[in-house]
Amino acid sequence: MIDLIKQPWPWYFSGIMIVLIMLILLFFGKSFGFSSNLRTMCTIAGAGKKVKFFDFNWKDQVWNLMFLIGSVIGGFIATNYLSNPAPVKLSAATVADLNQLGVKFDGGLNPNSLFSLAALKDIKTLIILLVGGLLVGFGSRYAGGCTSGHAISGLSNLQLPSLVAVIGFFIGGLVMTYLIMPFIF
């Protein structure tokens, strides 16, 4: 049993469980949307005093911050207690493409060459991570949601605006992958 848990879990199980999480939150009277937390955090830091967008009653969003804290704990538990050291079964074509880009596949979930503590000594890496985060934060608020709010909650409710947002996610993703990343890595 424990061996089964420690293996990577199949995509269909993940898909089922993500819907279950959406349903649990609906049952609690909430809706699944992660990026709202970023706005809440800005408000708690005092952004509401200067900018109207952040002037809202953040206490209604405490549940979502709790969900966020849980997700950090979940990542910790999964990585430290529920994983085996076998490398991610990434497709050979991706490994080759990334090699060409200068990012070596190290077998983990994320490249240590970008995300480890040691990698942060490199100013270029720092800028990539900061700018990448900035685009994620700005874009998700501009679009009124991220993957959870639009791709999962929105599409499940057959919202055309969410489909437009998801098409945008892919336009941006493809532009970054094919047109921009070859120049920055």
List the interface residues with other proteins, window 96-125 (CB under 8 A): 97-98, 105, 109-111, 114-117, 119-120, 125
Maximal CA-CA distance, the chain: 54
Q: What residues numbered 17-36 form the site for other proteins, per CB under 8 A?
A: 17-19, 21-31, 34-35
Count CA within 13 A, CB hemisphere, residue 32: 21
Q: Which of 60, 63, 124, 182 binds other proteins (CB under 8 A)?
A: 63
Please give the structure tokens belonging to residue 165: 């947002």
- Is residue 83 within 8 A of residue 77, CB to CB? The reply is no
CA–CA distance, 120 with 114 (Å, rounded to integer): 8
Q: Which of 60, 71, 99, 182 binds other proteins (CB under 8 A)?
A: 71
**Residue 162 binding other proteins, by CB under 8 A:** yes
**Residue 46 binding other proteins, by CB under 8 A:** no
CA–CA distance, 170 with 178 (Å, rounded to integer): 12
**Residue 61 binding other proteins, by CB under 8 A:** no
**Residue 133 binding other proteins, by CB under 8 A:** yes
